[in-house]
Amino acid sequence: MITVLRLGHRFERDKRISTHICLTARAFGADEVVFDVRDERVEDSVKRITDEWGGNFKVNFTENYKDFIK
C-alpha cells in the first residue's frame, strides 16, 4: 500500500495544488492521500474523478500526523 501524507494544506491558497497532488499520487499508483486538515472540496473533487475514471484511490484525514506516521 502506497500512502502520501500531505502536510500544511491551506484552504484558500492550496485547493488546486492539493488536488493536483492527489491526482499525481493516483497516477503514480498510490492508494491514498492523507491530509492533516479536512477539506471537503478536495475530497469531493478527487472522489468525482475516481468515480469517473475508476480505481480505489481515497482521501483521508488525520488530526495527529505524528501518530499516523508511527
Is the pLDDT assigned to residue 19 strictly greater than 70? Answer: yes
**What is the DSSP-derived secondary structure letter of residue 28?**
T
What's this model's pTM, rounded to 2 decimal places?
A: 0.81
Is the pLDDT assigned to residue 8 strictly greater than 80? Answer: no
pLDDT, the chain, mean: 87
Band of residue 29 on the pLDDT scale cut at 50, 70, 90? very high
Q: What is the mean pLDDT of residues 43-51?
A: 89
Is the pLDDT assigned to residue 13 strictly greater than 80? Answer: no
* Alpha carbons 63 and 46: distance in angstroms, whole number: 20
